[in-house]
Amino acid sequence: MKSFFYLASRKAKNRILEITKRPSELIMLLIFAALVGVSVFGGAESHSAVVFHRDINELYAIVLALYAFVFVMTAKNGFINGASMFSMADVNLIFTSPRKPKSVLTYGLLGQMGRSLFLGVFILYQYSWAHDSYGVGYDFLLAVLIGYGAVVFLSQMLAMLIYCVTSNSDKLCSLVKAVFYTLIGAFVVYVAFSAYNGEDYLSGAVSAADSVVLKFFPVAGFVQLGVVGFAEGKLFLLAISVSCFLLFCGGYYLLITLLNPDFYEDVLKATEVSFSAITARKEGKAIENSPRNIKIGKTGIKKGQGASTIYFKHKVENRRGKIFFLDTVSLITAIITIGFSFFTKMSFAGFVFNIYMSVFTVGSGRWAKELILPYIYLIPEPPFKKLINALKEQIPSLIVESIITFVPLYFLGLSSVEEILGYVISKISFSFLFIAINLMFHRFFGGRKNKTLTVMLYMFAATLFSVPFACVFAVFNAVFYFSFFVSLLSASAINIIISLILIYICRNILQYAQYNNK
């Protein structure tokens, strides 16, 4: 085992040296530490006199929902390409060494256990509102973070197990997938039934989350039980949670080694897929997730001429990658927004939250992938005309996403028809704005938006260009006392104007391919 300890220590040392030699990463680390410090000390001082009035069980329900969401989204990767706990450097150094497969697997699991904690750093920023609304301390957030890491770790182990077992049999994959989603669906139905039969939807859902049934939700249930036990000082609940974690961890480990003792090939394939995706993002290349087996239906574009061919090409590509014009990220964002509005009982808070999420999800449509391929530059049409046809593809999905996100708020009794219409129009205008900002960054920085400083500049630009909307809405609604709908509509017009200006500035982006391949 000395070689494993040596390799792990060298990797940690080299990572630290790499951070110190890269100013951008060092700046981000310092900003992260500063934000956490502000969240802890500033939040404690500003909310020290607040009277906590919300039921703590609501926060426990939110934690359970977060864990359940992470578990499902991570574990389901086992049906596609698995989850690797190794890097390509590990594959080259360890897989070729004279080590037993079990010891190699143990090394990968221990390394992944530490990395899982870093995936939940966003939890540390929630101290202010959590302390304000529920009176919890920072120790509670640390417990939630540790639980988050445990859920991610076990979910990745399950994804690895599913892939190792089902990768060689499509029938077995379909069977396991049916059992997996049936089990998850049963819990969802139980929560929906409990919410419907409660005094109100919120209290019913919270009661369901606190019931014994939800504690049997795979992984997320018993991990959340440990967080509750820690928060309430009930050591027996914490002991049950830790015991279940160790039991599941050991069970997954034994199943991986017994059912597929020669797991190297499956792990290697999953690692290569992950490595290829990371490399493609770093190099600004287009990546496309595709299923293991593709059913061939209609083929060919069959419509369009000249620049319009780009639009119809994107429509054909969307047929296999979207559901009702929406991709998985859009559907998840809509569900989270509805859930956030439902728990806070404030539709406007859900609207603001959705706009914040849109900063990260909108703007990365097929047009962005098209800009780093040579074909769009070869079409003998004006660059601006080709650009407009490339951007058109996102319009139907943006409209459908806005409707699906906010219309349910009316049926939940959180908004009127007028407010819903205002939210839908404002969401579409913000989507256009973020697309235009993304386009501007492609124009001036090339297709490498994953660079740290570029991401910081993008966030700053998104915030800056959103200020006119907020100012116009505040002035029209609070100063001139216009209706909520008219205020949103007027502010949305500002977003559209800014978007058109930015798109016009970038009108020659397709004139030179070098802009997007720097």
| pLDDT tens digits, 350-384 | 898 889 888 877 766 778 778 777 888 888 888 88
Residue 381 tokens read as: 């049409």
Q: Would residue 2 count as lying in a domain?
A: no
Do 171 and 268 fall into the same domain?
A: yes
Place of tokens 């049997």: 216
Place of tokens 């959180």: 414
Do 275 and 323 fall into the same domain?
A: no
In contact, 458 and 441? CB cutoff 8 Å: yes
Residue 269 domain boundaries:
52-282
Do 77 and 156 fall into the same domain?
A: yes
Q: Would residue 185 count as lying in a domain?
A: yes
Q: Identify the CA nearest to 442 among candidates 503, 397, 380.
A: 503
Neighbours of 24 (CB within 10 A): 14
Do 240 and 128 fall into the same domain?
A: yes
Q: Would residue 29 count as lying in a domain?
A: no
Considering 282, 301, 330, which residue would you say is the last residue of a domain? 282
Do 234 and 341 fall into the same domain?
A: no
In a structure prediction context, what are the per-residue pLDDT tens digits for the chain, which is 518 residues long? 677 777 777 777 887 777 777 666 666 667 666 666 666 565 555 544 444 567 888 889 889 988 998 898 888 877 766 556 666 667 677 766 777 666 776 677 666 666 666 666 667 767 777 777 788 887 888 899 889 888 988 888 888 788 777 767 778 888 888 899 899 989 888 888 887 776 666 777 788 888 888 888 989 999 999 999 999 888 999 999 999 999 998 888 888 777 655 555 656 666 666 656 555 555 555 455 555 555 556 666 777 788 888 888 887 777 765 555 667 777 888 888 887 787 777 888 889 888 988 887 776 677 877 877 788 888 888 888 888 888 888 888 888 889 999 999 888 888 889 999 999 999 999 999 999 998 888 887 765 544 556 677 788 888 899 999 999 999 998 888 888 899 999 999 999 999 999 999 988 888 765 555 54
Do 259 and 316 fall into the same domain?
A: no
Q: Would residue 303 count as lying in a domain?
A: no
Considering 236, 264, 282, which residue would you say is the last residue of a domain? 282
Do 275 and 318 fall into the same domain?
A: no
Structural domains of the chain, count: 2
**25 burial via Cβ count (<10 Å: 0-12, 13-18, 19+):** middle
In contact, 341 and 350? CB cutoff 8 Å: yes
What confidence tens digit (pLDDT) does each residue in 279-330 have? 555 555 545 555 555 555 666 677 778 888 888 888 777 776 555 566 777 7
319 DSSP 8-state letter:
T
Do 250 and 340 fall into the same domain?
A: no
What confidence tens digit (pLDDT) does each residue in 143-177 have? 998 898 889 888 888 887 887 777 677 788 888 88
Do 348 and 202 fall into the same domain?
A: no
Considering 282, 300, 322, which residue would you say is the last residue of a domain? 282
Angle at 439 between CA 435 and CA 445, to 5 degrees: 140
Q: Would residue 37 count as lying in a domain?
A: no
Q: Would residue 34 count as lying in a domain?
A: no
Q: Would residue 9 count as lying in a domain?
A: no
Q: Would residue 300 count as lying in a domain?
A: no
Do 344 and 433 fall into the same domain?
A: yes
